[in-house]
Amino acid sequence: MNSKNDAVEIVVPLGPVDTIPLGQGCTYVVDGCAIAVFRQRDGQLFATHNACPHRGGPLADGIIGNGQVICPLHSRQFDLTTGESADCAVRTCPVRVEDDEIILTLA
């Protein structure tokens, strides 16, 4: 029997952290899902689903800063930690760096 508590986590190495320039985002496809990974200018990483829930804009192409990403289509702002916006949210994913490699967890 599968339930929410039985969800399988997928842990995926995405490659060297230096493949994402500081202050930019990059799209990765993990288990059929487009994920945006952002590297702030301070080096901190965040990950969200790539499609803006408002109009499907590619969030990886958005402007990032101050812990937020701005959708390139309609300027909707999302908090990179929580995924929250004024009236909708984008799903976030845990991401970390181990030995200079980006490691993403998808549940």
How many whole angstroms separate alpha carbon 87 and alpha carbon 100? 36
Judging by beta carbons within 10 Å of its beta carbon (0-12, 13-18, 19+), is residue 5 exposed, middle or buried?
exposed
User: Residue 55: which pLDDT band, with cuts at 50, 70 and 90?
Assistant: confident
Global confidence as pTM: 0.90
The full set of domains in the chain, from first to last, is 4-106 (2.102.10.10)
Q: Does 57 have pLDDT greater than 90? A: yes
Q: Are 90 and 107 in contact (CB under 8 A)?
A: no
User: Residue 8: which pLDDT band, with cuts at 50, 70 and 90?
Assistant: confident
* Span 82-98, pLDDT tens digits: 999 999 999 999 999 99
User: Residue 4: which pLDDT band, with cuts at 50, 70 and 90?
Assistant: low
The arithmetic mean of pLDDT across residues 10-37, rounded, is: 97
Q: Which residues pair with 104 in a beta bridge?
A: 12, 95
Q: Does 27 have pLDDT greater than 80? A: yes
How many whole angstroms separate alpha carbon 70 and alpha carbon 11? 27
Question: What are the CA-CA distances from residue 17 to residues 11, 89, 96, 99 (Å)?
Answer: 16, 26, 10, 9
Q: Does 26 have pLDDT greater than 70? A: yes
pLDDT of residue 85: 96
